[in-house]
Structure 1
């Protein structure tokens, strides 16, 4: 056998005129390289939590199902609350346990993002930044948003004005079936438009409609396990990933259109920038650009475009979809709708708009909101994080540059934390005498720690004011024999798959 191999090898070398010494060196180097990488692979594998095996190069990516958050939950039951798999070039650690996620929130080594953007070819936005660049952008953004009213009564008044116009639009549709997701989306988007651009859009404004359309097309087509995140250094796989991502061109095109519209708003702000008064996020960012114009900084026009576009998308799309789920729960459980209305009657009445401060006297309404957030779990898997150095969570090792997924869906459906977790029960957030709302630390709709959603407070204000204003003015229902389904669809956000059209009957309360 060895003699035959030697003869074949000699014929091969003679045929291709290969120097035997060079060939021996090549074989030796290749063997050393393979042994080294095999050693590193085994060594790293021993450090990682247990998990499923995948294929060479692509790892477990081909086996990830459409509803990945459910699959991650099932894998956690098999491999443990913290498990790992290979995703393309990266090791991925998934954390399914509530206490482990709380620990991860506090771990400063788990604050970074992957080194690439979710849409290839784009500059990093604040949501995709890491390290000191992210900290600077976050600090400035929070300062600007607070200065222009985030968390203050001035912004709440503007939201109430917007809701007043929204309620009027629903009243004008009296007797007609309403596509709530559409009209609601335009209204909610106006609240973030005020923060970003300093003004709202009329519901029939072509610019505002197109702006929301571009944003919706991006969010509806970006997959959580986008192949571009997991194959960044495997350049030969990028064309393959693009080939199998049929919506790639649509996403890229709509993202560009969205940012082009933001650029138009930026140009308007530059034209009026004659004072130092800051009215919105663009004003504040432009002022910061002027302060840092002589330094090499991330405060530039490209970053402003990306940040404003992402803030607009995150601030409008998520709240819109949660309200869609809320309407679903209102018509599915009319007894809960009546309980909210009873609290309105006792606390606010039917003559004045609600204030966010009224929530303190409306425990069931707040419990309904919290249960809606838990049941909908709009963001079942967090925006990907990356370990900046070797670290641990609950004694599980997470090597440097591992991508980390926090599975909020698993926590929100954990039977050890929630009694009958698959049922809609607002009372789970009430005290025993049902006079006080009790928010569980394991309700994590906005993530947590230093990477918590910067618009969490705004979202809660909106959810309360929209919900109460709707129930205060209307009996929400669906036509008889309408099939109500809580079936969802999932790409990056978990949304209502088939929203039903709703009846909004004006109340005649004394």
Structure 2
């Protein structure tokens, strides 16, 4: 009898402690779901919507009737914000500019504990970002630059030629079918965007005959993006799971992709280190090498490993994200043929058919620009932004957010907020135009590139590339359905580290 009483008592105490653990949260912390040992609230999020975790958390926000939710993902304490004003506050508050040390950031760094730009804060992040942006601007990054625009025009000319002629080399069969006019998305646009970006960084481009390795880089970049999620997958909670289920956990694909990407950029850096001449400046990489050779404080991070990771971080969007975003635009154009026709009329009126569209045409083509902006709003490429971290105790929306809490500004929730947009679920480029049909930037409250000190450094480059790729394609071709094809199914788009359309083939038809 005593044994039964003792067992009952121990069980009750255990259940009580488990209950306290499940519902306990710091004083003043936002409301949210209970947490389980090891997993925190992550399993609840998976149960609500395992495919789109940002939508799962938004659903929690609605259940708790609060625009800010407190979560636990493993040992990480997280505050997720779904209010537009608060999202802006986070992005523009330097006390939220920290970055969490999650396993997904560690996996990118196979040799030493340095994490480039994305997952770094403090002095190293400030010095590296400041230096890289300062000198890349001299080579045309982030501003209008005639030489870069000429490079982009040459890349787009190659892009149009491969569509019309079909593959000339074995690796081009990954991009276009024999006979041409049938391209694989989202892969197709990326080599030309990557080449344009690399012309800025190291003043070199990869020619068509030698593009096999660049295409492989892009494929591995997509693989890395597709095998994460907004919160780092289960690997961030229990990293040891990689030893038991390397495939199911996503570890094998993440590791394989990371190793190829790291080695690709390591070879670029090492080639320049080997041939460096202090009396002859070839490109931005030589400028960085010169800085490496100075006697700078170690915490500034000017060394080979940091440079490799920094190049990866600044280049990653160019060889992956741009292709994804351009593909999302294609999807909405195919689903909204009246929008496509209106853009083509604008192209015909402003550009004609005797030359490629240029950035000088952009301000005369407000509907085209509005369409691109609407696509970036309705399908946010990075729905939860890259996680921020509170560097000190802060107050947010009346709640206390302790130091080291992960703070997630939900760009998706902001872009789908009826209080801001009225009818956010509708694809309506006109929302960015005034009564005269001109582009009205005051109406564009979207933040697809973030804001503040953590604003995506490639915003200008990305917006320019998206305009030039979109207009060049619609100037020359119609997107059509071949036998057996169907219209894009937006529900098949996956959210890994970013929103990624599945691989699929699209038919093109020459415009008459």
TM-score when scaled to structure 1? 0.86
Q: Which residue of 2 aligns with 1:164?
A: 157
Q: Secondary structure at the match of 1:392?
A: strand
Corresponding position: 1:91 with 2:91: no
Aligned with residue 506 of structure 1, among 493, 506, 510: 510
Give the Cα–Cα distance (whole angstroms) in 1 for the partners of residues 460 and 256 of structure 2: 32
- Deviation at residue 439 of structure 1 after TM alignment: 5.2
Give the Cα–Cα distance (whole angstroms) in 2 for the partners of residues 425 and 82 of structure 1: 28
Q: Which residue of 1 aligns with 2:57?
A: 72
Give the Cα–Cα distance (whole angstroms) in 1 for the partners of residues 244 and 336 of structure 2: 44
Q: Which residue of 1 aligns with 2:39?
A: 58
Please list every run of 5 or more consecutive structure 2 residues that lacks an aligned counterpart in the other structure: 7-12, 167-178
Aligned with residue 140 of structure 1, among 125, 131, 142: 131
Give the Cα–Cα distance (whole angstroms) in 2 for the partners of residues 351 and 278 of structure 1: 38
Give the Cα–Cα distance (whole angstroms) in 2 for the partners of residues 276 and 93 of structure 1: 51
Give the Cα–Cα distance (whole angstroms) in 2 for the partners of residues 456 and 283 of structure 1: 24
Q: 1:243 to 1:276 in 2, by over 3 A?
A: farther
What are the Cα deviations for residues 65-108 of structure 1, in whole angstroms up to 9, with x where unaligned? 23101111111112211111112112100001111111112211
- Deviation at residue 297 of structure 1 after TM alignment: 3.9
Aligned with residue 108 of structure 1, among 80, 94, 115: 94
Q: 1:127 to 1:276 in 2, by over 3 A?
A: farther
Q: Secondary structure at the match of 2:72?
A: strand
Q: 1:294 to 1:224 in 2, by over 3 A?
A: closer
Q: Which residue of 2 aligns with 1:15?
A: none
Give the Cα–Cα distance (whole angstroms) in 2 for the partners of residues 480 and 437 of structure 1: 41
Q: Secondary structure at the match of 1:416?
A: helix
Aligned positions of 1:204-243 closer than 5 A: 204-205=209-210, 206-227=212-233, 230-231=236-237, 237-240=238-241, 243=244
Give the Cα–Cα distance (whole angstroms) in 2 for the partners of residues 328 and 227 of structure 1: 27
What are the Cα deviations for residues 190-219 of structure 1, in whole angstroms up to 9, with x where unaligned? 122223332222344232222223322222
Give the Cα–Cα distance (whole angstroms) in 1 for the partners of residues 452 and 419 of structure 2: 23
Give the Cα–Cα distance (whole angstroms) in 1 for the partners of residues 403 and 282 of structure 2: 42
Give the Cα–Cα distance (whole angstroms) in 1 for the partners of residues 5 and 325 of structure 2: 68
What are the Cα deviations for residues 94-126 of structure 1, in whole angstroms up to 9, with x where unaligned? 001111111112211100001345243523111
Aligned positions of 1:160-199 closer than 5 A: 160-173=153-166, 176-199=181-204
Give the Cα–Cα distance (whole angstroms) in 2 for the partners of residues 489 and 227 of structure 1: 14
State how many pairs are aligned.
472
- Deviation at residue 478 of structure 1 after TM alignment: 2.0
Please list every run of 5 or more consecutive structure 1 residues that lacks an aligned counterpart in the other structure: 7-30, 232-236
Give the Cα–Cα distance (whole angstroms) in 2 for the partners of residues 274 and 137 of structure 1: 22
Q: Which residue of 1 aligns with 2:9?
A: none
Give the Cα–Cα distance (whole angstroms) in 1 for the partners of residues 93 and 399 of structure 2: 13
The 8 Å contact of residues 47 and 397 in structure 1, kept in 2 or not, is answered as yes
Q: Which residue of 2 aligns with 1:272?
A: 275
The 8 Å contact of residues 54 and 230 in structure 2, kept in 1 or not, is answered as no
Q: 1:404 to 1:4 in 2, by over 3 A?
A: closer
Give the Cα–Cα distance (whole angstroms) in 1 for the partners of residues 341 and 494 of structure 2: 29
The 8 Å contact of residues 84 and 94 in structure 1, kept in 2 or not, is answered as yes
Give the Cα–Cα distance (whole angstroms) in 2 for the partners of residues 4 and 158 of structure 1: 80
| Larger Cα-atom Rg | 1
Q: 1:497 to 1:195 in 2, by over 3 A?
A: same
The 8 Å contact of residues 124 and 303 in structure 1, kept in 2 or not, is answered as yes
Which deviates the most, 307-316 or 92-101?
307-316
- Deviation at residue 229 of structure 1 after TM alignment: 7.3
Q: Secondary structure at the match of 2:326?
A: helix
- Deviation at residue 406 of structure 1 after TM alignment: 1.2
Aligned positions of 1:356-375 closer than 5 A: 356-375=359-378
Q: Which residue of 2 aligns with 1:152?
A: 144
Aligned positions of 1:29-40 closer than 5 A: none
Pairwise CA RMSD: 2.7
Give the Cα–Cα distance (whole angstroms) in 2 for the partners of residues 5 and 345 of structure 1: 86
